[in-house]
Amino acid sequence: MTMKPAQAVEVLHSGTPAAMQFSVEEVEPLVRKSIETVLSQQSYVHDQTQQWARTIIEGCLDKLVKLSKPYKYIVNCTLAQKNGGGLYNASSCYWDNTKDDTCTVKWENRTIACIVTVFGVGF
């Protein structure tokens, strides 16, 4: 009987294999793609913002679920018209720092500012 050599598994947080952890480097391009798919050719139209936000959030969630990681996801999308006014966005969570994480993507074009935050909460 031939024994196979043990495979190295990188573990970063609380005994969870790295491949199953929330990775900002993996999540950020998924979020950016969801934003750009919806907004890249748009100019700000207030009546469209609710639909745009819904479509961006659904796109993010579809992509995140396909990662098949043991996380519940919360996705927040803020859209604002770029007209010289200020915009401040803040969030806070009480969670397990050893496995939960967040990814925020800021995107803008000439007339639209968009901020999407994804919270990955392990279960």
- Over residues 32-54, the pLDDT tens digits come to 999 999 999 999 999 999 999 99
Written as one letter, the residue type at 9 is V
Q: What class has domain 23-122?
A: alpha beta
Indicate the domain borders of the chain.
23-122
Supply the DSSP string of 42-107, one letter for each residue: ----GGGHHHHHHHHHHHHHHHHHTT--SEEEEEEEEEEE-SS------------TTT-EEEEEEE
What is the model's pLDDT at position 20? Answer: 80
Please indicate whether residue 3 or residue 77 has the higher confidence score (pLDDT). Answer: 77
DSSP state of 9: -
Which tokens in the block code for residue 55? 């479509």
Instruction: Give the CA distances from residue 83 to residues 43, 97, 112, in Å, rounded to whole numbers and listed in that order.
Output: 12, 37, 9
Please indicate whether residue 3 or residue 40 has the higher confidence score (pLDDT). Answer: 40
Which tokens in the block code for residue 118? 């994804």
Instruction: Give the CA distances from residue 99 to residues 2, 26, 112, 118, 123, in Å, rounded to whole numbers and listed in that order.
Output: 37, 15, 33, 14, 9
34 touches 59 (CB < 8 A): yes
Q: How many residues does the chain have?
A: 123
Average of per-residue pLDDT across 55-83: 97
Please indicate whether residue 65 or residue 86 has the higher confidence score (pLDDT). Answer: 65
* Phi, psi (rounded to 5 degrees) for 12: -105, -45
